[in-house]
Amino acid sequence: MKHLRTELCKDLRINKQDILVDEKYYKLWTSRRIILRHKQKINSKKLIPAIVEIMSDESELEIEIEFL
């Protein structure tokens, strides 16, 4: 996952601190703005970009998922 993050940051020309690695659920987290701006490049890497809203409590339930 960390290798993928490094590769994405290099290709999209963004800072490493803008993408977080979630080892527990095998996800990469970033902002909505970055996803919308680089959607086609992310799709070309055979990744599935999505905008996810989660609850801010301990359970972190995913409330809404919008696949792009």
Q: What is the pLDDT of residues 18-46, one digit of tens each?
A: 999 999 889 999 999 999 999 999 999 99
Residue 65 CA to chain centroid, in angstroms?
12
Predicted pLDDT at 31: 92
| Cα three-residue angle 45-50-54, rounded to 5 degrees | 140
Spatial CB neighbours of 5, under 8 Å, sequence gap ≥ 6: 16, 19, 21, 28
**33's tokens:** 């703005």
Label residue 66 left, alpha or beta by phi (over 0 means left) and psi (-120 to 50 means alpha): beta
